[in-house]
Amino acid sequence: MQTFNIKIGGEAGQGLVSVGNILLQAITQEGWHLFAHQDYESRIRGGHNFFQIRLADEPVATWEHEIDVLVALDEATVTLGQGELRPGGIVIYDPDVLGDEAKKLVDQPNCFGLPFAKIAQDLGQPKIVANAVAAGAVWALLSEDITVLHQTLEAMFGSKGEKVAAGNQKVASAGFDRVRELAGSRPKPAKPENPGARLLLQGNQALPLGALAAGLKFMSAYPMTPATGVTEYISEHGQEASVVMEQAEDEISAINMAIGASFAGARSMTATSGGGFALMTEALSLAGSAEIPIVVINAMRPGPSTGLPTRTEQGDLRYAAAMSFGDFPRAVLSPGDVEEAFYLMGQAFNLAEEYQMPVVVLSDQHLADSHVTVPPFDLSKVEIRRGKTVSGTEAGPDYLRYKYTEDGISPRLYPGWGEGVVISAGDEHDEEGHLIEDAETRQKMMEKRMAKQKLVEARALEPVLCGADEPDAMLIGFGSTKGAIREAVRILNEGGCKVQGVHLPQVFPLPESLGELLQRPGRKFIVESNYTGQLEELIAARFALKPTGSIRRYDGRPINAQYILDKLRGGVCGGQ
């Protein structure tokens, strides 16, 4: 695999995301695979932010430390980014924003000064199009031809008028020509031989797309970083699929609205992050008791409290598995990449409706905000299973909403569809749904509900494996560590180690087959982004196994392959 890394740094409000988005679209159109992630502070303006793009001739699903091109829109990027450059790496900077000390750092042959705003203004364009100058400058290091970049700018700005699109193209050409003049002839990054059709998506787009494909009909939510993108996507596109989207006044209202819509028969969900999820726990317990299906996306960020609201962590796993107070059936899924995010949403809705219970889909900021190219989704793989339902003609006046059954799943009638009356309550109840206090009914109803948990456990999603079939060591993780583990496994195996990666798309209840994998000889390392080792705890509680070691990160930054390899320090096989 040949990769090429571009890092664009600056303050919030300087347009670095605009530069990144222009390049993302053009890189995808040109045929490369890519993975891109953002690092941004929780402030409207100021602070150091960056947008990093990794392009390759093969699919990529994680980021690298070393960079080939550094685009500095501010002084801090020059100061902080120099140590990340590969030998021969290029710095493209704006000399108008540098102080004397920073100017000394860029006094090198591989550093090219382009006054972005001045170039735009000299060409009769407003300062705001300076980001197109930067995009053109980077494109000169990727391709000999600017045509694709021009097409991208036309697609992005054409709706604002021919003059706006032409202005962006003009200044992009100026940046392109200037870097070609300064850099001379350089090898360009390798491209895939047969690129094929691909989508460019973030996790916060794949999750709602998966929900729409799975038949979502109602969503209610209150904005909370980093889950807000899911809400925005449904707000923008949901009407095309006849979805009702409601922005609630808070997270408590949001989940109760979604539960109400689900009670009426609509596939429903909400999306939030840690603090909002905490507010939803009483309603989740209601859904568990009343056996109402509901899907909740929890996009994790570092806590406790507000923590680091724009950064990433996997610190809610234990909380999501507990979900709420009292015993009731539940499941927690955790996609590891954009493609899996799409398909797992269908699994989440099917689980929720087949077992009439809450299902949490754990995302995190890294997955939510990162961009990746993926093959077009196969809609034939999306199966909609509504579970054990009864029609209005089948449900007579003797209908029992919580009828005792061998598998614990009571036939579900949508209210108003027949003569039967659907009664639900948060208090303990009998088969009809009426409140009770006696011990015998309580015990039977609890056993009925929890019988479903055994079925959920028996059908738990299988681990996703990569690497050696008979390994000497395993790297085990969940969520957005998937790409980092996969790449670390590839590097270790290429170096002579026999290593297997184990990704868990379902983290509660854990699949029985994981226990079988853990019984195999060899060392086991748990990779996760939290302080206490929450996945390690769940595995120990389920299988009574202590791993060889743990690789944890909890500084708000995402794990990548190099981080895993550095932490192993020869622990998998000597010298690797």
Give pLDDT tens digits for 431-485: 999 999 999 999 999 999 999 999 999 999 999 999 999 999 999 999 999 999 9
Looking at the DSSP assignment, which residues form a beta bridge with residue 49? Answer: 10
Query: Which amino acid makes up residue 87?
Result: P
Q: How far apart are the first and last CA of the chain?
A: 19
Tokens representing residue 527 in the block = 């990779």
Give every residue of the chain whose pLDDT is below 70, as ranges.
574-576
Q: Choose among 433, 408, 409: nearest CA to 420.
A: 433
The span from the CA of 204 to the CA of 306, in Å, is 20
Peptide bond before residue 335 is cis, with ω within 30 degrees of 0: no
Q: Choose among 6, 1, 15: nearest CA to 142.
A: 6
| Neighbour tally for 250: CB within 10 Å | 11
Residue 468 confidence (pLDDT)? 96
The two domains 200-381 and 464-568 share their CATH topology (first three levels equal):
yes
DSSP E strands, 302-405: 331-333, 358-364, 371-374
The span from the CA of 211 to the CA of 204, in Å, is 11
Tokens representing residue 404 in the block = 């005792």
The span from the CA of 423 to the CA of 324, in Å, is 23
Residue 575 confidence (pLDDT)? 45
* SS3 state of residue 301: coil
| Distances, alpha carbon 296 to alpha carbons 172, 252, 254, 258, in Å | 43, 12, 10, 9
Residue 574 confidence (pLDDT)? 54
Please tell us whether the domain made up of 200-381 is placed in CATH 3.40.50.970: yes
Query: Which amino acid makes up residue 253?
Result: S
Please tell us whether the domain made up of 3-183 is placed in CATH 3.30.450.20: no
* SS3 state of residue 306: coil
Nearby residues of 165 by Cβ (< 8 Å), 6 or more positions away: 153, 154, 156, 157, 158
Fold for the domain defined by 464-568: Rossmann fold (3.40.50)
CB-CB contact of 126 with 105 (8 Å): no
Q: Which helix (H) or strand (E) holds 479?
A: none
What is the sign, positive or negative, of the torsion defined by CA atoms of 199, 204, 209, 211? positive
Residue 566 confidence (pLDDT)? 96
Q: Name the one residue in this structure whose structure tokens are 């603090």.
A: 275
The span from the CA of 213 to the CA of 197, in Å, is 20
Q: Name the one residue in this structure whose structure tokens are 């056996």.
A: 291
Q: Which helix (H) or strand (E) holds 87?
A: strand 85-93
Domain ranges of the chain: 3-183, 200-381, 388-459, 464-568
DSSP E strands, 462-569: 464-467, 473-478, 499-504, 506-508, 523-528, 549-552
Tokens representing residue 464 in the block = 């996703």
- 199-202, strands of its sheet edge to edge: 111-113, 85-93, 67-72, 3-12, 46-56, 33-39, 371-374, 199-202
Q: Name the one residue in this structure whose structure tokens are 């590097």.
A: 491
Phi then psi dihedrals of residue 204, to 5 deg: -70, -5
Tokens representing residue 86 in the block = 């590969």
- 506-508, strands of its sheet edge to edge: 244-247, 218-221, 268-272, 294-300, 358-364, 331-333, 506-508
